[in-house]
Structure formats: C-alpha cells, structure tokens
Chains A and B, each alone.
Chain A
C-alpha cells in the first residue's frame, strides 16, 4: 500500500497495465512528452516510449476515431479527452461507432477502449471546464460509465475498465484529484495523504464495474451519489445529524440496483445528488428506477439535489454547485416528510 493522490493512482493504473499488456496505448492532447495538463500521464512516455504514449492533434473526434480503429485492430487504447467539456466533437464516434461495433458486426469487431475525461466543477473552470455529461453516456446502449470518487477506487476501476472487452467512459471528478472535497470551498483542503482512501494497493488490482459502495451506513434516508457529491453528502449528514445511508454508485452503467434497493427498502426514503443539471440528468433515471423497485416501501417523495438547469457559471460557481447546505436541507425535508 502507498498513499497516492487520485492523479497518481490513475497514472499507476495505466503504468501497471502498460507494463503487463503491450496492447495498452495512451494518447491525447498534451499527454505525451508533457504528461497531461493534470499530470495523469507524466512519465509514461519516458518509460514506455513514444509509440505507446504520445501527443495527439487537437481533434477529439480524431482521437476517439483513431482509438476505435486501434481497438478494432486489437489494441487496448486508454485515451484522454482533456476536459469532458471537450468531448462533444467526439460524441458521434462514441455513440455511433465505439458503442456499436460489437452489436452491428455480431461480435466480429469489438472496441476495448477507455475514454478518460476529467469531469465536474469546483475549480472555477467556467462553462467549458466544469460540465458533468455522464447522462449523455448512460443514455447510450453499448457503453459503460464509471465515476470514481477516491484514489483507491480510481485505480481499481481504471484497471478493470482497461481490461473490459467493451468501451468504458471513465469520468474523473477533477475537484477530487488532489483531495476529497465536501463543498466547503472556504475551508483548507485535505490532501489524499491524510485520507484512508488515499491508501492504494500496489501492483495489479481491480474493482468490479457495476458494484456500488456504502460509504456511510444509516437508517433514516438513503443518499445516492457519485464523484465529488459523495463527500458533500457526507458533510451534509454530519452537519444536519440526519442518519443517512450514503451510497457511492462508482459505476453508473451497469448500475448496482441490488445495493440501492436493499438500502431504500430499509430506510424508506431517498435523496439523489449530482452536480450535473437537473432535467433529464442521471438522477431522473435513478428516481424512476427507485420508484419502480421500492414504491411500496417509500415514505416520502424522492428528492433530487443537482446543479441548476443553467450553463455552468464562473463567478456564481458556489451558487450553482449543490453544496452541503442544499443537500442538508433536502435530507431534513425528506426525513420529516
């Protein structure tokens, strides 16, 4: 075990896989010589050479399209889109191609591809460096969508994603790269070196895609969260004293319905929290699934706390971000309803 930041854990996962499997290649904008704007690929080119880790032209459709061709050849590309906000030019390649090769060719051609992208806000990135587009991926059949919330999980899930035979969208909450963040932006940052989940097993280890984790046990209400919101929810529970059971979904698709349903059957109440905008967000899917499976156990309406339906603003970042105060109010309203 070693203490790592989420950046180091992600790099370590790629390092382990590049050493084990010559088919693993890493490329994207600024990822080669420089090692990525967030440093996730630092040192990989030096260690594995220019044909295993290299810089790409600024063309996201080209990066994903070329990676699909490589995956069809038999490589296992693990590529970086510099910010999830830059993904849109590549969306056609992801939706119409990566997600469909296996299906439309009846398994003759497959796409073992990981697309890593930093997601979410909290860094004053404005509307082009803060978005959370996960629902645009969970809506697409043929994709898997993963959102880790700590260095330990990030490594285990990224290795599992690289080993997966199908395309995986790997969204890295950038506000968590250097430490957990509970939404209290005016307080000092806790580094991962002072957090238990900064402990990362060395070498090869995986966490299965599609398994959630209960990060706080409780009896009064179930909170469904992922990424940065896992820490916001924990802060909200601590500050309101609501005995919340907090589930870190980790993988949005496939979704661990077993863990979700077992918890809500116990608590009878559910609050869903995400940073992305409300309307048609992943929370809408979660709410629908929860009422289908747990309608007769529910004692209160399902609540959603999310980003507002506006573009991600710059100066108003903390008015937009669903922080612990908003989540806390939803917890109280839901347990008192």
Chain B
C-alpha cells in the first residue's frame, strides 16, 4: 500500500498565449558591461556562471561598455550596420516576391541580423560554417553576390544549385558556407567532423556549427557535443535561441536545464551566453571563441539570446500561438536600431545618414532583384533544365539513371 498521490505529467507552457499581455520577466538581463571577460585558455570550470548570464556591450544609452567592448573601429561598425540593413532589405523584398508567387517559400531573419553578420567578421577565409536557414548574414557580410542568392531563391536558369534545393538553402564553398540541408541538427556534428579533419591535417582552419533552440533537442546535437569535447575539435558550437521553434516555445527543448548554454557544461566545454541583438557583443564573443579554436584550445559553445520577430517561414502565422505584440515587448530591442543609436552617440552617424543609407541599400537590392528576375522566377522565364535533375546524383551517372533519363525524354 502506498500513500503517495498519483503521478502527473508536467507539460511546460510559455508565459503567455495569444490574447495575453507579453511577459519576458523570466528573461533575466544583466547590465551591459557587467560580465567579465576571461582569458581564452581559462579553465571551463571557473566560468560556469557565463552559461547563465548574458554578455552585453551596448547599454541603454547606446554606449559600448565593459571588458568586451572596444574591438571594432567606427568604419567596421558602419560596415556591419550596412550588412544588417542589407539583409533586412533583402528579406523584405524576397518576402514580397514569395507573396507575388515568384518563389514557393522564404525564411526571413527579422530581429536576428546581428548574429550571422557579426559572426562572419570574426572568421578568416577558409573557415567553414555549417549554417541553418537563418544565417544568410554569413553570405551578405562576406560579399557573396545577392543576385546569386536570389537566383537560388527563384530556382531560375542561373540558380547555382540548378533548382535542386529548396529556396534559401544556399551553398558556397568559396564563402565558407556549407550546403544547407534543411534537416535540423544533422550539420552540427558534421561541423565537428570538419574541424577534426582540419586538426588531423594540422591545418589552421576552424569550423562553426549552427543550430536553433528547438533543434538542440535532436540527438545529433548531443553527438556533436560528445565528439567536440572528446577530440577538443576546433569548432564553435553556436545556438541561436530565438525563443520559438515554429509554434513551440523554447521551454519544450530546454527542459529543466535553465539555459541552452548550460548544455555545454556537462561536456567541459566553455559555454557563454550573449545578447544576440548586440552587434558588438556578438562579435566580441565570436572573436573570443574563434581565437580559442585557432589556438587549439578546443570547442566553445555560444548561446545567442534573441527573438524571432517575424514568422518562422512564409508558411507560418505566429499570431496563432503567441501575442501579436510580443516582439515589441522583447527586452533586448532591435539589433539595427541599437547599433544605429551607438554610432549616433559616437558622433559618426545620424538619422539623416541612416535614411540615406537605407535608400541606397534598397536601390542596390532592387537592382539585384531586377537582374535575378531577368533570369527567371519559379514559374516564369528561364529555369534549370529537366536534364539537370539527373546530373550530380553521383560523380559519374550510373546506367540505371541514364536509362531513366532516356525514359524521361530529357
């Protein structure tokens, strides 16, 4: 006989649902500049608290403060802001293009632009990112042609991937951007393998793995941390915590661990949490992690705390699962506005110059779009040939595929 109460299952719920008032009181935000900056060869045991804090550089007044500040010149910061503005304008145009039926699908970065744009700046040529579908800033900030990105989105005659891959699943070896799978988390462990290969060959290149908060629940995430930890792979394990995995709030993947960064602690991997909407903080933490990898000190896990201000994709409607005003209430603000304010405080930027830059960037994006559309869109104009469908399955086409291509009459 037992006197215990019957068991009951715990199913976590977000703080609010549609109709409620947005509430981020659970996101504890330390003051900018408050988190110390350890040496890169620090004993991971001594910085466990960094997995539970948030490294921030820009304060409310737009000043860059604390030990993580001061790494980028004004020119570099202005360039960084232009990257973010370009990505935002690019997203806006492509979102409309999808609504106009020029492509089947699109995924935007709204609110998350600082992460991929600032991270790219910390890498060197030859390093390899294994991105998810929300890191196009890695390409924009590295000068990859927007026309090529758009041609991929339109699956047109100039699509570098010949129409084989879903829109936004770019690939560019030259720009250190591994072919995006579209499956979640699979590439996290591949990044570790790539980094191990670089170490096996005594090379100097490093890898960066990317994953979202929801996908950290996948077994491949765990596999990646085991391998990275065991072989001290020169890799940066990035987790973009944008609070929402389609309609599922981050608590479903996080469970009882407090933060996603804390996942790294059990593996002895230095694990940091950073304000993902603070361009300067993202860059500073990325630089720290890159230096550790480059100096053969092993992996670093970084959680970027941010908010997915837009829908998951063009197939998603967030108003069905979260309050419409939630993104306005997000306490870490907007990455572009925050960097703009910082540059204005430093006296090297103004509202006027910002507006002018916005107009210039929009012109550039529209010009690229016009050129891309001259090569076709998904349902109109030039497109990859049906023959392209049969190529590239293998280095050399085996007889059974040759027969099928003949049957298809292409």
- Please pick, from A22, A65, A74, the residue contacting B186 in the complex, using a CB distance under 8 A: A65
- Please pick, from A56, A65, A102, A109, the residue contacting B220 in the complex, using a CB distance under 8 A: A65
Stretch at the interface among B61-69, B171-179, B283-291, B343-351: B171-179
Name the A residues within 8 Å of B187 (CB-CB): 97
Stretch at the interface among B22-30, B81-89, B190-198: B190-198
* Minimum C-beta distance from A153 to chain B (A): 19
Stretch at the interface among A34-42, A88-96, A274-282, A299-307: A88-96
Give complex CA distance A257, B220 in Å.
38
Name the A residues within 8 Å of B197 (CB-CB): 25, 69-70, 73-75
Give complex CA distance A241, B227 in Å.
56
- Please pick, from A22, A104, A142, the residue contacting B161 in the complex, using a CB distance under 8 A: A104
- Please pick, from A67, A104, A108, A144, the residue contacting B193 in the complex, using a CB distance under 8 A: A67
Give complex CA distance A59, B227 in Å.
9
Q: Is A46 among interface residues, defined by CB-CB distance under 8 A?
A: no
Of all chain B residues, which has the CB nearest A256? B399
The answer to whether A142 touches B393, judged by C-beta atoms less than 8 angstroms apart, is yes
In this complex, which of A52, A104, A110 has the most chain B Cβ atoms within 10 angstroms of its Cβ?
A: A104
Give complex CA distance A100, B183 in Å.
12
- Please pick, from A62, A105, A210, the residue contacting B226 in the complex, using a CB distance under 8 A: A62
Tally of contacts, chain A with chain B, CB under 8 A: 142
Interface bits B172-216 vs A (CB < 8 Å: 1, else 0): 110000110101001111111111111111000001000000000
The answer to whether A57 touches B179, judged by C-beta atoms less than 8 angstroms apart, is no
Q: Is A166 among interface residues, defined by CB-CB distance under 8 A?
A: yes
Interface residues of B in 120-150 (CB under 8 A from A): 128, 130
The answer to whether B164 touches A52, judged by C-beta atoms less than 8 angstroms apart, is no
Q: Is A16 among interface residues, defined by CB-CB distance under 8 A?
A: no
Contact flag A65-B399 (CB < 8 Å), given A59-B226, A106-B160: no
Of all chain B residues, which has the CB nearest A64? B189
Of all chain A residues, which has the CB nearest B191? A69
The answer to whether B186 touches A97, judged by C-beta atoms less than 8 angstroms apart, is yes
Of all chain B residues, which has the CB nearest A25? B200
Q: Is B354 among interface residues, defined by CB-CB distance under 8 A?
A: no
Q: Is B219 among interface residues, defined by CB-CB distance under 8 A?
A: yes
* Minimum C-beta distance from A219 to chain B (A): 26
Of all chain A residues, which has the CB nearest B189? A65
The answer to whether A108 touches B171, judged by C-beta atoms less than 8 angstroms apart, is yes
The answer to whether A69 touches B392, judged by C-beta atoms less than 8 angstroms apart, is no
Contact flag A69-B189 (CB < 8 Å), given A97-B181, A104-B171, A105-B161: yes
Of all chain A residues, which has the CB nearest B401? A141
The answer to whether A109 touches B171, judged by C-beta atoms less than 8 angstroms apart, is yes
Give complex CA distance A201, B199 in Å.
34
- Please pick, from A52, A92, A100, the residue contacting B200 in the complex, using a CB distance under 8 A: A52
Give complex CA distance A67, B230 in Å.
15
Give complex CA distance A5, B400 in Å.
34
The answer to whether A69 touches B192, judged by C-beta atoms less than 8 angstroms apart, is yes
Interface residues of B in 218-262 (CB under 8 A from A): 219-220, 222-224, 226-227, 230
- Please pick, from B181, B191, B226, B398, the residue contacting A96 in the complex, using a CB distance under 8 A: B181
Interface bits B5-24 vs A (CB < 8 Å: 1, else 0): 00000000000000000000
Interface residues of B in 19-45 (CB under 8 A from A): none
Query: Which size bracket describes the interface of B in this complex?
Result: 35 or more
The answer to whether A59 touches B178, judged by C-beta atoms less than 8 angstroms apart, is no
Contact flag A65-B190 (CB < 8 Å), given A102-B393, A106-B171: yes
The answer to whether A106 touches B164, judged by C-beta atoms less than 8 angstroms apart, is yes
Q: Is B294 among interface residues, defined by CB-CB distance under 8 A?
A: no
Give complex CA distance A67, B179 in Å.
16
Q: Is A188 among interface residues, defined by CB-CB distance under 8 A?
A: no
Name the B residues within 8 Å of A207 (CB-CB): none
Give complex CA distance A210, B181 in Å.
29
Of all chain A residues, which has the CB nearest B389? A103
Q: Is B1 among interface residues, defined by CB-CB distance under 8 A?
A: no
Give complex CA distance A165, B395 in Å.
7
Interface residues of B in 369-401 (CB under 8 A from A): 392-395, 398-400
Give complex CA distance A66, B200 in Å.
13
Q: Is A61 among interface residues, defined by CB-CB distance under 8 A?
A: yes
Name the A residues within 8 Å of B198 (CB-CB): 73
Give complex CA distance A93, B164 in Å.
19
The answer to whether A66 touches B181, judged by C-beta atoms less than 8 angstroms apart, is no
Name the A residues within 8 Å of B171 (CB-CB): 104-106, 108-109
Contact flag A72-B220 (CB < 8 Å), given A62-B189, A96-B183: no
The answer to whether A59 touches B186, judged by C-beta atoms less than 8 angstroms apart, is no
Q: Is A51 among interface residues, defined by CB-CB distance under 8 A?
A: yes
Name the A residues within 8 Å of B227 (CB-CB): 56-57, 59, 62, 66
- Additional pairs, 14, CB under 8 Å, beyond known A69-B207, A92-B183: A25-B200, A51-B200, A57-B227, A61-B220, A65-B186, A65-B193, A68-B190, A69-B196, A97-B186, A97-B187, A97-B190, A102-B393, A253-B398, A257-B400
Residues of A within 8 A of B (CB): 22, 25, 51-52, 56-57, 59, 61-62, 65-70, 72-75, 89, 92-93, 96-97, 100-110, 141-142, 144, 165-166, 210, 253-255, 257
- 7 nearest A-B pairs in the assembled complex, by CB-CB distance: A69-B193, A66-B193, A62-B223, A65-B189, A105-B179, A69-B190, A73-B197
